[in-house]
Amino acid sequence: MARGKSPAPGKDHGGSIVLGGERVAVRKHKTDFTVMAPQERVAPARAVRSERLAPRLTRVSTATSNDRDTAMDEVRARNVAHHIYQVESTGEDILIADRVILELKREGTGALERIMQEHHLHYVTRMDDAHVLRLTDDTRSNPVRLANLLAESDDVAACTAELVMTLQYHQFAPLFAEKWYLTTDLLSDPDVVPNADVDVVEAWQITTGSPDIVVAVIDDGFDLGHPALHGVRLHPEARDFADLDAVPESDPDDYHGTPVASIAVGRHDSGNAMRGIAPGCTFLPVRIGFGGSAAQIDMLEVFRYVSARADVVNC
């Protein structure tokens, strides 16, 4: 990186991370770290507990910061281990992988080759205008520090560490492994085709939705007090076209709208077993009648109503 800008002397490049396009201050977790290996292969002497977060991702807890450092040194003799970072302002846990995503200001200048050689990086793939590079044992830096260092180069437009996920998404709810439509990574079932899912865990690394995006579900009634929907941001113009009012709550015979809504916008609270794809979006529940009551509904009016208010519609 001979043409790049040198970092400020003594600057701590591990003190911040890019989240949602913004740089935020972070700190290292005092006692916990992650290992990119199955839980059964991770048992450092100083660990007080280990937790399986994913098939090849384990969280290790120790008693003190010194024990954390000792345990990480032990683990690194066989596997890749990383600090868990916490957002200073919220305490939210952030996990990182062993790759960085780098975008150059200009291609074809030799900058990419220089960066890879200087920092001992392996080329993985390309994502639109960005290059995905994997750290090696010879890199001698963790992904957060390296990404922040590279981002200061005159050759680099942007660089960020790949986030595995925030921990709440992989402290799996009891039913998560059965939700093949979200991810098949945790499921081994001959009736489910591998990767027959929407890659939701990868999508959550980017966003869990925005309040500016309205997701409408047109169905029978909704139990808005259900744990999966409790606290979801509701659109002020929810509508019941069956009863012709603004309260699309369930009747005793309604059974479908609530589970469909939970798939779309179900909360990620720790006690909620049904986690949705985009809980950060605004939810517009729209109830219609079925069976004998369906004849009373002008479906064109329903779709006109929803289309004027929603960005995403499930019907």
Cβ atoms of 213 and 207 within 8 Å: the answer is no
pLDDT at 200: 86
pLDDT at 204: 86
pLDDT at 183: 81
- HSE-CB for 92 with a 13 A CA cutoff: 12
42: which residues sit within 8 A by CB, 6+ positions away? 35, 50, 58, 60, 75, 79
**Angstrom distance (rounded) from CA 169 to CA 112:** 33
pLDDT at 55: 66
Nearest Cα to Cα of residue 57 among 169, 209, 189: 169
pLDDT at 10: 43
Q: Which helix (H) or strand (E) covers residue 22, if one does?
A: strand 22-35
Please report, for the chain, the start and end positions of each structural domain, with discontinuous segments joined by +.
16-166, 214-314
Q: Is 128 helix (H, G, I), strand (E, B) or coil?
A: coil
Give the pairing type, strands 121-127 and 130-135.
antiparallel
pLDDT at 2: 32
pLDDT at 201: 81
Give the pairing type, strands 22-35 and 57-62.
antiparallel
pLDDT along the chain (315 residues), means of 10: 36 66 84 89 90 80 95 90 86 83 94 96 89 87 88 92 57 70 77 84 86 96 92 95 91 92 89 86 92 56 94 95
pLDDT at 6: 35
